[in-house]
Amino acid sequence: MNASGDFLASASPRTLFGQRVCDLGWNAALSLVESLIALRGNRTTLGFLDERTAFRQMVDPAYRGQLGRRLLLPGGGRAFSIFAKARHEKPTPVLFSAGTFVPALLSFLERGHRIGIAGEDTGRIEALREHFARHAPWHDVAVIALDQDISRRFDLILVDAASLAQERRIERRLASVRTGLVVMTGSGLSAFIQGKPARSVRNSTAPSPKPSFA
């Protein structure tokens, strides 16, 4: 389900590659998402429009409709900017990625939340749970077992999916789970479980101040 109209209006929406995206700075984007999480019962799915998703939705009408039902943050790096320029698109000043936005969001949420991590690779999911439990220990971070009944309610669910087919299967499986926000991260969290740091904000965004958590 999309975010409510009031929140989308506050997100300064603009069109990029035919999709409506949020044209926001770091603090505004984090504050918006925090507000969406607080809207219990009004589920929102958030995704990132990068070069991979932008190209796929141009050739896949079903996926284009899927993205159209999400709250989208502009993402990508140099390839995304080149792709946009070639199509005479004007990228937003700030670009996001799962690898930079997710840890920033967990740090930004000062009050403890129930956070679920879902994916088909149980080893990856458990490694991500351990990483984020260390990163923000005030949150209750749990693995969501997709092959079992899911009765627990979550404030936020992170979906780790290596392919669009996996993403669709997981999204269908989570359709009945009670949550405020689902973040589709693709494979953007891989760096956290490969012993490598996530891409820096400099590489995943246009020059802009880093988020402040004050």
Average pLDDT, the chain: 83
**pLDDT beyond 50 at 31:** yes
Mean local confidence (pLDDT), 92-97: 84
Number of structural domains found in the chain: 2
**Residue 214 covered by a domain:** no
Tens digit of each residue's pLDDT (9 = 90 or more) over 157-188: 999 999 989 999 999 999 989 899 999 999 89
Task: Supply the pLDDT for residue 214.
Answer: 35
pTM, full prediction: 0.83
Does residue 17 contact residue 49 with C-beta atoms inside 8 Å? yes
Q: If you average pLDDT over each of 161-165, 191-195, 209-213, which comes out highest?
A: 161-165
**Residue 40 covered by a domain:** yes
Does residue 87 contact residue 81 with C-beta atoms inside 8 Å? no
Query: How far is the CA of 102 from the CAs of 124, 180, 186, in angstroms?
Result: 16, 15, 12
**Domain span holding position 148:** 112-195
Q: Are residues 90 and 13 in the same domain?
A: yes
